Amino acid sequence: MSRFKKELKFAVKLVRKATEITEWFRKHGFESFLKSDQSPVTLADFASQLYIISKLKQHFPNDEIIAEEENFEFIDLKAENLIKRCFNELSFERLKIIKEIIGFKGKSSERQWTIDPIDGTKGYQKGLSYAIGIGFMVKSTPRVCAIAVPNYNEKFLAIFSAEENQGAQASYDDKDFKLIRVNQNEVIQNIRLCHSLHYDQPWVLNFAKKIGIKHFIQIDSMAKFCMVAEGTADLYIKPLDENHSFTWDFMPGDLIVREAGGDVTDLNGEYLKFKKEKCIWTAPGIIASNGNIQKKILELYHKNQ
């Protein structure tokens, strides 16, 4: 029985509406800034986060919010006005106190929402793949996720969602949601590997080629998890480092793949854990797969070290 139907429906609605904001900025131009860790952020990231938090705050006032963007010094009067213009043109509710809402975290709670207002900002800046991801946890256990990928496969908007023990679903090009499943491929030579466009490390492709993988999909964002979940890819290998392992990056993808029948572990075969904003792992890499090949890939990884 669905326990979090309300949260799931709401998360799906939020990621869908947030893509209207990010696409508005894509058409009208977005300012980009560099954060202290040298990763980029754009006005569209802030506007998307602002919208999502404002709605969560209204509908779930007692829940805690864990969102990616914090560098409010980038939001000057000109930026505020542009965000207001975007909301106005999209007929979204008017917002008065922009910075306070973007930074709103709510009270400490065992019910927590994670927000990545734009995942794959580098891809977004270049007109390539990006995603908007929302996760919902109770007692640090992933319960619900929603991921919107505009221009999925360079075609249309795709929205992926999952609830714990209820399976994963996808809606393509605004059509009805249908259950999705990972594929059954077990043959290494046929594996399609997703890997990162901007944050990859050489060991990923070196390892993949060494074990005989021949097909590669290189894109930004958590869309890679979605491709494994719907079966267009078989495997996703993601290098990790301690300073960039956040719940908003990985919780939605972890749940979507597992609910679609796949598997997600770190390089030691341990499941990912989430503690507030931190994604916790025991070895610096994630393997997400259709499940059939998970054990084999982990064995091959350790044999080749």
The least CB distance from residue 46 to Mg ion, in Å, is 11
Residue 52 or 208: the one with the smaller Cβ distance to Mg ion is 52
Going by their DSSP bridges, the two strands 235-239 and 64-67 should be labelled as unpaired
The least CB distance from residue 40 to Mg ion, in Å, is 9
The least CB distance from residue 24 to Mg ion, in Å, is 17
Going by their DSSP bridges, the two strands 111-119 and 64-67 should be labelled as parallel
Stretch that binds Mg ion, among 30-38, 112-120, 138-146, 230-238 (CB under 5 A): 112-120
Phi, psi for residue 280 in degrees, rounded to 5: -110, 130
Residue 250 or 301: the one with the smaller Cβ distance to Mg ion is 250
Restricted to residues 57-86, the positions that interact with Mg ion (CB under 5 A) are 68
Residue 116 or 266: the one with the smaller Cβ distance to Mg ion is 116
Residue 86 or 208: the one with the smaller Cβ distance to Mg ion is 86
Residue 64 or 116: the one with the smaller Cβ distance to Mg ion is 116
> What are the CA-CA distances from residue 94 to residues 23, 60, 83, 90, 221 (Å)?
19, 19, 10, 10, 30
On the 0-12 / 13-18 / 19+ scale of CB atoms within 10 A, 143 is buried
- Gap between the Cα atoms of 4 and 10, Å rounded: 10
Q: Which of 7, 63, 116, 234 binds Mg ion (CB under 5 A)?
A: 116
> Look-up: residue for tokens 């996760």?
135
For residue 220, state whether it binds Mg ion (rule: CB under 5 A). Answer: no
The least CB distance from residue 15 to Mg ion, in Å, is 13
Residue 75 or 118: the one with the smaller Cβ distance to Mg ion is 118
**Single-letter residue type at 100:** E
- Gap between the Cα atoms of 63 and 114, Å rounded: 11
On the 0-12 / 13-18 / 19+ scale of CB atoms within 10 A, 97 is exposed
The least CB distance from residue 73 to Mg ion, in Å, is 17
The least CB distance from residue 291 to Mg ion, in Å, is 28
Given a contact cutoff of 8 angstroms between Cβ atoms, the answer to whether 249 and 116 are in contact is yes
Residue 152 or 301: the one with the smaller Cβ distance to Mg ion is 152
Residue 119 or 220: the one with the smaller Cβ distance to Mg ion is 119
The least CB distance from residue 188 to Mg ion, in Å, is 33
- Please identify the residue of the shown chain whose CB is closest to the bound Mg ion: 116
- Count residues contacting Mg ion (CB under 5 A)? 4
Helix (H) or strand (E) holding 205, with range, is helix 202-210
**Single-letter residue type at 300:** L
Contacts 24+ apart (CB under 8 A), 28-32: 28/82, 28/86, 30/125, 31/74, 31/79, 31/82, 32/125
Stretch that binds Mg ion, among 117-125, 154-162, 184-192, 273-281 (CB under 5 A): 117-125
The least CB distance from residue 152 to Mg ion, in Å, is 18
Positions touching Mg ion (CB under 5 A) are 68, 116, 118-119
